Structure formats: structure tokens, C-alpha cells
């Protein structure tokens, strides 16, 4: 059947992050923040099963957002 959605038991259930209508963790594609402070998400966890090129792209973008969040600025490419 392949990847359907994230595993909810454990960290996701404990943190209370919002899920979208497809059962993936809800976060936007601007800064990848979830509804919980200091929790970011990208790749299959946010988008669902997708091509590896999307995961690489989102990994870089979320790294940019996290660096900016932690340091107040970033030199990482978006």
C-alpha cells in the first residue's frame, strides 16, 4: 500500500500538531511552521508521499526557515 500518513502514536499525538484533511502534519510552505511553537515539518510528513526531489527541496527550505528562526537571519539559500 505504501506510505499513507505519519504515525500518530507518540510524538505527533503528544505534541498536538494539527493535521490536514489527508492526515499529514499541517504546515505552510513559506516557513514550514506547525501550529505548535518551535515545531517545523517538511517532506512526506507535510506533503504525503512524494518524489524525492520535493523532499530535498523542502529540506533545504525548512533548514532556511529554522536557521532564520534561531539566528534571526540566514545565509542559507531558499
Domain segments of the chain as ranges: 11-71
* Prediction pTM value: 0.67
Question: pLDDT digit string (tens) for 19-74?
Answer: 999 889 999 888 999 999 999 998 888 887 777 777 888 889 999 999 999 999 99
Query: Mind spelling out the 3-state secondary structure of the chain?
Result: CCCCCCCCCCHHHHHCCCECCCCCECCCCCCCECCCCCCECCCHHHHCCCCHHHHHHHHHHHHHHHHHHHHCCCCCCC
Amino acid at each position: 500500500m505504501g506510505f499513507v500518513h505519519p504515525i500518530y502514536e507518540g510524538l505527533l499525538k503528544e505534541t498536538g500538531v494539527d493535521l490536514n484533511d489527508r492526515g499529514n502534519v499541517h504546515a505552510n510552505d513559506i516557513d514550514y511552521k506547525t501550529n505548535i511553537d518551535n515545531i517545523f515539518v517538511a517532506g512526506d510528513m507535510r506533503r504525503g508521499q512524494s518524489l524525492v526531489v520535493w523532499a530535498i527541496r523542502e529540506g533545504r527550505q525548512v533548514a532556511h526557515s529554522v536557521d532564520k528562526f534561531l539566528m534571526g537571519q540566514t545565509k542559507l539559500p531558499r
